[in-house]
Structure 1
Amino acid sequence: MNSFCSPSAQAAPQVAVGSSQRRGPLRAGERVQLSDERGRLNVICLAPGGQFHTHKGFLDHDQIIGCPDGSRVTGSQGQRYHVFRPLLSNFVQSMPRGAALVYPKDAGQIVTMADIFPGARVVEAGVGSGALSISLLRAVGDHGYLHSIERRQEFADIARGNVQSLFGQVHPAWRITLGDLQEQVLKHEAPGSIDRVVLDMLAPWECLDAVARVLVAGGVWISYVATVTQLSRTAEAIRADGRFTEPLAWESMVREWHLEGLAVRPEHRMIAHTGFLLMTRRFADGAGPLSPRVQKKTFADEDLDAWLALESTKRPTSGRKLRRAARSAAEGTALAQDDSGT
């Protein structure tokens, strides 16, 4: 007897959260991408009665609301535009932000190399503007679990607004907590209960013990760091701990190409270095490395003090800018919920 069910015998698939936001006519509260005749792009948030202004006149939002994705519209002075829903890469680069975002090229590497699978239990810190959170939520799905830990209330507010704006509602797999990772993850997550840990923070090596305690045997820890000093310090801490595999580090660079007839060449500008990724896996308790690693020269105290002093001089994002970004992130969510009647 054939053990496979026919398609008609299978239960109807449940609609995934956020999928309705990617289909159907364009709605109030959605961000859309306008492309003019010269290929220039603008991203706007649709609002009833709103207008998009340029030096060549204006375009009423009401002309766009209700149109199919990919429509062509005409402004007040004949300027023509194509209107599309932004792809994820477009959305995260145009959404309100309070902190530097994790670029799509790095988010894609994190999801793939850390093997973020549907149903996975993932811990993330810090959240920034929510760009990486969106990719992680898409990967774990509605029945997975993402616990995002962020130290700053302003960043959490911006991330919450951006995530809800993209998915159209609070994502059922998402939990966001204010505080330090070392304290909050041990408070809320049982030992060995987390499949993957993703850290985007200044000093990930300080969280090594907390990560080792909550990560399941065979689980993956991946860190995103900006500087060579952070990369080296994290790698050496992992090696010295003995509960993780030899760390793997890399960076990714993306360069588009100009395509016009036979004039095919690399573009002059590219997205080069944005950050380093470092990945390792948790040994089962008692397993450890197969052979001791020869310890090479590490950081001198004066080197670390100089680096920390340099980091402390960087100009912080102003509270006013963060509050403005949080309001902007929340506006799209409110408009989308009003339009859907939720």
Structure 2
Amino acid sequence: MNKYNSACFSGIDKVYGRKGLVKNAMQETEESTQHEKSEYIQPGDLVLIVGKDHKESIVRIFEGKEHQSHNGVLQHNQIIGKLWGSTVYTHLHVAYQLLPPSLEQLIRGVRRATQIIYPKEIGYMLMKMNIGPGTRMIEAGTGSGGLTLALARMVMPYGHIYTYESRPEMQALAQRNLEEIGLAEYVTFHVRDIAEGFDQRGVDALFLDVREPWFYLEQVHAALKGGGFFGCLLPTTNQISELLRNLGPHNFGHVDVLELLIRSYKAVPDRLRPYDRMVAHTGYLVFARALLPLPPEIPDEPNTGKPEKPAYAADLFEQQNFKKEGRNE
């Protein structure tokens, strides 16, 4: 197991006197994060450019380049050295705000050839499956790489994502998306049918985004460590039922099934109300834990018909009788 996985995420380690390792690992993570978040925009930064019409563009900034829009041209040299949150103007004098993109905006902004998993599912899944710095995780069904992006962002700088996709063109698209954002170094891309199994063993978590996940539970269990986290996204209830029938026989337990709904509101103080439309059903999430096989059963002792008291209970009972009778040993 990656040493930083246990250092960053095992509260048990604190009990057993590994506070120094925990502190050092967390301090290194904090320092690297602070280094990335300069208050001034630098060449190579990803910048969220937002116009007055609330249209957004995510652009990587380079000296001498320019960003073109229907509202005019923004020179990258205008942006370099500006404070985050500043406003700049195109050559047509149209204002744009410069913001650091959030993880949710990065996911929505990836080039896609397939439907991506929505951020509302991703956010819950990250907590439910205990994903963080140092986690080693397998993802199957890479698609356009939206989930892969989120996973890589969460496990960096010490963890790693192993993602599997059977279609070479989709894996190539996902890899380009991760490279453009600068997270490809935390991901290993495999082009393979997962029926052949996974190369990794003892990973912390595994997530499937495939049509018939129940066919691959043996391969999933072989890749997970004992107690590891399994997750799956499915669009229909009949798929969930089939998966549930197969989880127990493959040594998975502690199963949860859920659906997440988010309703956005118009942020107008005097006319606060929900938007007329919402993205309702996007998919069902199924979670489980990988369990070790049960040990052989111990034969039961002959039943005398009376429940046997534990030894400590029998001793206590005898002491009470001695006190009632005024006897002392």
Where on the TM-score scale, by shorter chain, does this alignment land: which range?
Answer: 0.7 to 0.9
Q: For residue 226 of structure 1, what is the amino acid of its counterpart?
A: P
**Structure 1 range deviating more: 245-254 or 18-27:** 18-27
Map 1:124-273; keep pairs closer than 5 Å: 124-166=139-181, 168=182, 170-171=184-185, 173-185=186-198, 188-190=199-201, 193-239=202-248, 241-245=249-253, 247-273=255-281
Q: Indicate the structure whose relative CO is greater, using CA pairs within 8 Å and at least 6 residues apart.
A: 1
Q: Aligned partners of 2:19 and 2:48: how far apart in 1?
A: 42
On the 8 A contact 1:129/1:156 being kept in 2, the answer is: yes
Shift in CA distance, 139/44, structure 1 to aligned 2, threshold 3 Å: closer
Q: Aligned partners of 2:28 and 2:259: how far apart in 1?
A: 37
Shift in CA distance, 272/28, structure 1 to aligned 2, threshold 3 Å: farther
1:106 positional shift? 1.0
On the 8 A contact 2:217/2:250 being kept in 1, the answer is: no
1:208 positional shift? 0.8
Partner of 1:40: 55
Partner of 1:123: 138
1:132 positional shift? 1.2
Shift in CA distance, 69/272, structure 1 to aligned 2, threshold 3 Å: same
Please list the CA deviations of residues 123-155 of structure 1 after superposition, one character each: whole Å capped at 9, or x if unmatched.
Answer: 110111222122222333322232111112222
Q: Aligned partners of 2:162 and 2:60: how far apart in 1?
A: 28
Please list the CA deviations of residues 214-233 of structure 1 after superposition, one character each: whole Å capped at 9, or x if unmatched.
Answer: 22221111001222332222
Shift in CA distance, 11/20, structure 1 to aligned 2, threshold 3 Å: closer
Partner of 1:324: none
Output the TM-score relative to the length of structure 1: 0.71
Shift in CA distance, 126/287, structure 1 to aligned 2, threshold 3 Å: farther
1:234 positional shift? 1.6
Please list the CA deviations of residues 43-98 of structure 1 after superposition, one character each: whole Å capped at 9, or x if unmatched.
Answer: 34445444434444332233223323222101112111111121111111012122
Shift in CA distance, 211/12, structure 1 to aligned 2, threshold 3 Å: closer
1:108 positional shift? 0.7
Output the TM-score relative to the length of structure 2: 0.74
Q: Aligned partners of 2:115 and 2:25: how far apart in 1?
A: 43
Please list the CA deviations of residues 261-316 of structure 1 after superposition, one character each: whole Å capped at 9, or x if unmatched.
Answer: 2322112232322111101112221169xxxxxxxxxxxxxxxxxxxxxxxxxxxx
Q: What count of residue pairs does the alignment treat as equivalent?
A: 277
Map 1:290-301; keep pairs closer than 5 Å: none
On the 8 A contact 1:149/1:184 being kept in 2, the answer is: no
On the 8 A contact 1:124/1:148 being kept in 2, the answer is: yes
Q: Aligned partners of 1:284 and 1:114: how far apart in 2?
A: 18
Q: Aligned partners of 2:103 and 2:148: how far apart in 1?
A: 12
Where in structure 2 are there 5+ consecutive unaligned residues? 1-16, 297-329
Q: For residue 195 of structure 2, what is the amino acid of its counterpart?
A: Q
1:159 positional shift? 1.7
Percent identity over the alignment is: 26
Q: Aligned partners of 2:19 and 2:54: how far apart in 1?
A: 49
Please list the CA deviations of residues 209-267 of structure 1 after superposition, one character each: whole Å capped at 9, or x if unmatched.
Answer: 1112222221111001222332222222224x251115321111112212222322112
Larger radius of gyration: 2
Shift in CA distance, 151/29, structure 1 to aligned 2, threshold 3 Å: farther
Shift in CA distance, 4/247, structure 1 to aligned 2, threshold 3 Å: closer
On the 8 A contact 1:223/1:278 being kept in 2, the answer is: yes
On the 8 A contact 2:149/2:183 being kept in 1, the answer is: no
1:204 positional shift? 0.9
On the 8 A contact 1:32/1:44 being kept in 2, the answer is: yes
Partner of 1:88: 103
Shift in CA distance, 161/207, structure 1 to aligned 2, threshold 3 Å: same
* Paired residue secondary structure (2:253): coil
Q: For residue 200 of structure 2, what is the amino acid of its counterpart?
A: E
Shift in CA distance, 63/220, structure 1 to aligned 2, threshold 3 Å: same
